[in-house]
Structure 1
Amino acid sequence: MDRRSILKTAGLALAGSALLPFASFANSGREDIILEEYNQIPLTAPGKRKLGKLEVSSIGIGVQNMSRNYQTTIPSRPEMHRIIRSAYDNGVTFFDAAEAYGPLEVEKILGEGVQSFRDKITIATKFGWNIDQETGKRLPGLNSQPEHIKMVVEGMLKRLRTDRIDLLYQHRVDPQVPIEDVVGVIQDLIKEGKVLHYGLCEPGHQTVRRAHAIHPVTAIQNEYSLLWRGPEKVILPLCEELGIGFVPWSPLGVGFLTGAIDSNTRFAPGDIRGIESRFSPENLPANMALVELIQKWSIAKKAAPAQISLAWLLAQKPWIVPIPGTTQMAHMLENTGASQIKFTANEWQEFNKDLNAIKIAGERLPAGVLAFSDVEAPEKKK
């Protein structure tokens, strides 16, 4: 069942209106119908993949919006716990958070949700933004000073109710701190057993090489999807060369690739998609060609658009592990099932031929946010 088509008929993408919160649909009672359909289908666990030497489920779950979703509504905390537990029951063992989500609150939600099976999963979280560790207040810029990193990790361990972080990312490269200093403090944390593996998010490629030369990088996390394929130019070849895993964030194009957005969609105040030019009223109609391609294959493969989008990512490389985020049980179940969708060689060739003919109009993020990506850390003074 393509429940995202049902979402449209339920009024989630009304012409000329703001994109309504998914919660409004969930409360309509029709989500129970979808879940009943899913419960009649034997679910197969997504299987395992390797990020460097770290084994995780081939599809993870991003918990970023479990404290506040794109529409700025506050999800039910018990329901977020239920989704987290159900994800684990359905074979998901890779959970992605960050101190910046909330801030601080999402790590608490994840720690509460996984407490009963903590030792059977992989928790990833991130430091690097300048956040007051007592109040959660966002301060200007970034902060990867070694002493600050140590303080942040102590807070993470408490919020996550754990004694170690399986995968710790630098959320953005700090242009004021040499990567050698950052990796040095991470090495200390690894020796103490508080961190097991580390990674970098949206880094400059030379910074990756410098970091990896000191201590192996386990994973790079960048935006990557059918909607944004930038990492294919430099980062993915670099990961393959160095044996680094790759974790795409926003693998469903912040909802665009699921069919929940159409050319008439307008976004509510506070929704970041409203200030991304790829979703502007001028660019959306042209970009719908990508959605139409996905819908074509959704019908052909008898799968949901989200499953086609995730299956395409999984087919790129065996060391790519997408982390779709959700605050809806049906979405989580659907996303987890994407690992069962396979392309034949001919289908793969046909899909990519049509995909390469589509040009996406607009930028993926506002300029002020993009400025934090692809940054090189300063050289360490000798």
Structure 2
Amino acid sequence: MVGIGCSTFGGSNSKTVANLALNYAYEQGIIYFDVARSYGYGTAESIIGKFAADKRGKIFIASKFGILPPPSFPFKSTLLAGIRSIRMLPTIQQSLKKASAKSLTKHVFSPQLAEKSLNKSLKELKTNYIDVFLLHESNLDDVLRDDIKYVLEKAKEKGKIRSWGGTFYGRQDAQIAIEKRSLDVVQLSFGLDNKYSLLTNQKDNRIQIIYSILNYAKNTNSAQSSNILAHIINIFPQLKALKNIKELLLFVAFHSLPRGVILLSMSKPEHIDRNKLICQTSILTNDELSRVIYILRQYFTQF
């Protein structure tokens, strides 16, 4: 399925924008919503909680711990208003974003924090359970800690969470976690390699979440990206409706994953509609899709 990433809600996107996006996505059949304690400087979970109040049994909510929002941020509203309103001065906008990002405390993993953060998330989300609970930007050593595992397994027994795992930036760590089969959930960034090919076993019920797809092409210039897309469309003209390399990567990601969640940050109805359409369009055979991936690998060096 396609899931909505809510990292900007309560931050660079106001509560009004967030609520419009959430409700529109739900009306379009999207039922997976990804949030974290730190999103929106600690406010995003409460936005999701209000939205989910009358839909709780119909949607999936994922939250994370390990990055702490600022404990006290007296000028937050002024800063957020500045980030949202400054459109003509990108340098100042980037400076504000960097300043706000530095106010977060990252990679804080302990059994005490896991329990405290979970209870805080449950309160903010106004629910008695979270479907997916993740260590935020974790590495392999973090997710394999016995003391943290003990707390999270106890939370599962009590019904506070349905499943847990890690969000990995390092794809090598994600691969080892996949092979160890010790986690309910493996969330990893998109790549053109086969890092999640081991999850094709139909008896494997773990949740697979792929994110950071649209950022994958950021290191290529527009001319290079256009050449890649044109070359592939020349071979597979049925892909001519795709407008850019990002849409091609989204198409590849969605149709390469046997099952799971493709996570996208979307706040505008037109983006939700477009991304949903791309994912729902199945116009290549598996062999053709494999050939597209092979061609893309020749252009990208990240795999």
Q: With structure 1 as the length reference, what TM-score do the two structures score?
A: 0.60
163, 176, 182: which is aligned to 2:128? 163
Q: Which has the higher contact order (CA 8 A, sep 6+)?
A: 1
Separation of aligned partners in 1, 2:232 and 2:149: 40
1:84 aligns with 2:25: no
Separation of aligned partners in 2, 1:121 and 1:61: 12
Separation of aligned partners in 2, 1:294 and 1:83: 33
137, 147, 150: which is aligned to 1:184? 150
- Determine the structure 1 residue equivalent to 2:269: 329
Three-state SS of the structure 1 residue aligned to 2:113 is helix
Gaps of 5+ in 2: 77-101
Q: How many residue pairs get matched? A: 266
Q: Which amino acid aligns with 1:184?
A: Y
Deviation, structure 1 residue 342: 1.1
Deviation, structure 1 residue 149: 0.9
- Determine the structure 1 residue equivalent to 2:252: 312
Deviation, structure 1 residue 201: 0.9
Deviation, structure 1 residue 298: 8.4
Deviation, structure 1 residue 352: 3.0
> 1:310-349: CA deviations, max 9, x gaps?
2211221322421111121110121122232113336425
Deviation, structure 1 residue 285: 5.1
The verdict on how the C-alpha distance between 1:299 and 1:195 changes in structure 2, with shifts beyond 3 A counting, is same
Conserved 8 A contact 1:298-1:308: no
The percentage of aligned residue pairs carrying the same residue is 20
- Determine the structure 1 residue equivalent to 2:4: 61
Q: With structure 2 as the length reference, what TM-score do the two structures score?
A: 0.74
Deviation, structure 1 residue 139: 5.5
In the TM superposition, what are the counterparts of 1:1-382 in structure 2 within 5 Å? Answer: 58-68=1-11, 74-131=12-69, 138=103, 140-173=105-138, 179-202=145-168, 204=173, 205-207=175-177, 212-213=181-182, 217-224=183-190, 228-229=191-192, 232=194, 235-240=195-200, 243-253=205-215, 278=219, 286=224, 289-290=227-228, 292=230, 300-305=239-244, 307-345=247-285, 347-360=288-301
Conserved 8 A contact 1:245-1:320: yes
The verdict on how the C-alpha distance between 1:298 and 1:172 changes in structure 2, with shifts beyond 3 A counting, is farther
Conserved 8 A contact 1:82-1:113: no
Deviation, structure 1 residue 291: 5.0
Separation of aligned partners in 2, 1:356 and 1:208: 22
Of Structure 1 and Structure 2, the greater helix share is in 2
Separation of aligned partners in 1, 2:143 and 2:289: 43
> 1:275-302: CA deviations, max 9, x gaps?
xxx26xxx66545544555776687443
Give me the CA root mean square deviation.
Answer: 3.2
